[in-house]
Structure 1
Amino acid sequence: MAIAAGVCGTLFVGYCIYFDHKRHKDPEFKRKLRERRHANKQDKAVNRPSTVDFPNMKDYQAVQKFFAQEVQLSDELLAAGDVENAVDHLANAVTVCDQPNELLQVLQQTFPPNVFHLLIQRLPLIAPRVLKQERRLQEEDVE
């Protein structure tokens, strides 16, 4: 029985190795893999939290609630190892903060340099969304 199990296991591993080798030798494999990775990168870029509804900046309580929520989400995502999304939420929080320079100084001392630099790179992408939403809210107030 043990010999039969060993033979079956060896055959299964051989089968896996054979087909993995055959798959990698396929000339279309690398092209398909590159296309799939490129599509995944584009999906991730599209699915960034760009649909975040920023609060009305005139409503202090809503801004404070949003700030706390984004910081908490950022902490949870960092703990889970999802640095990209954590930085996005942290950038949202910095954008609505009433003292962003002081917050950035604290974050610079708190986070590793690579995470902080990623945050600095994301801020210019987030700020226009807040301004765009503010203009939309002002237009709704006028109507």
Structure 2
Amino acid sequence: MMAGRYGALALGLSGALFIGYCIYFDRRRRSHPDYRRKLRERRRNQKLAQEKSGLAKLPDLKDPAAVQQFFLDEIQLGEELLAQGDYENGVDHLTNAITVCGQPQQLLQVLQQTLPPPVFQMLITKVPTISQRLVSPQVLAEDDVE
């Protein structure tokens, strides 16, 4: 009976020491002079990489108004970029719009009639890659809930 108490006491004490060490290490890491600079730099690099890849922040897919606004913004931005001659980024934004579109086949038919064939071919080749990148964060977010 005494061995069980000592075992429980030792287990509790080792758990408290481990948590204390974690708190100490985290405080020491955050108080380092370069911590904030490196954190800002890392966040800036992530934001630039996201903007560079053309990956837009997805709206809440359960909110129809937000999805519709995102869709309209991406279509408008894609058309503007295509009009300026920036085909790569324009196609990225149109692909984002196709990804959240309720009827992507009909939208693709309209785009096929309005876009030049080389630009439409670029769009068709990018649809699977961007739709996979846009859908993956949503799946991960839903899996984190469990």
TM-score by length of 2: 0.61
Which of 95, 119, 122 lines up with 2:123 in the alignment?
119
Tell me the equivalent position of 2:34.
none
Q: CA deviation at 1:130?
A: 2.1
Task: Give the whole-Å Cα distance in 1 for the aligned partners of 2:101 and 2:83.
Answer: 22
Q: CA deviation at 1:63?
A: 0.7
Which of 135, 140, 143 lines up with 1:136 in the alignment?
140
- Percent identity of equivalent pairs: 51
Q: CA deviation at 1:56?
A: 2.0
Tell me the equivalent position of 1:70.
74
Q: Cα deviation per residue 1:111-138 (whole Å; 9 max; x = unaligned)? A: 1100100000000111112221211332
Q: CA deviation at 1:84?
A: 0.6
Q: Which aligned runs of 4 or more in structure 1 are off by greater than 3 angstroms?
A: none
- Check the 8 A contact 1:56/1:137 in 2, yes or no: no
2:53 pairs with 1:48: yes
Which of 101, 105, 122 lines up with 1:101 in the alignment?
105
Unaligned runs of 5+ in 2: 1-48
Task: Give the whole-Å Cα distance in 2 for the aligned partners of 1:131 and 1:88.
Answer: 15
Q: Cα deviation per residue 1:35-79 (whole Å; 9 max; x = unaligned)? A: xxxxxxxxx9x92213x2111222111110100000010111111
Q: Cα deviation per residue 1:67-122 (whole Å; 9 max; x = unaligned)? A: 00000101111111101100000000011100000000010011110010000000
Tell me the equivalent position of 2:11.
none
Tell me the equivalent position of 2:4.
none
RMSD value over aligned CA atoms? Answer: 1.9
The one-letter code sitting in structure 2 at the alignment partner of 1:130 is L
Task: Give the whole-Å Cα distance in 2 for the aligned partners of 1:137 and 1:65.
Answer: 22
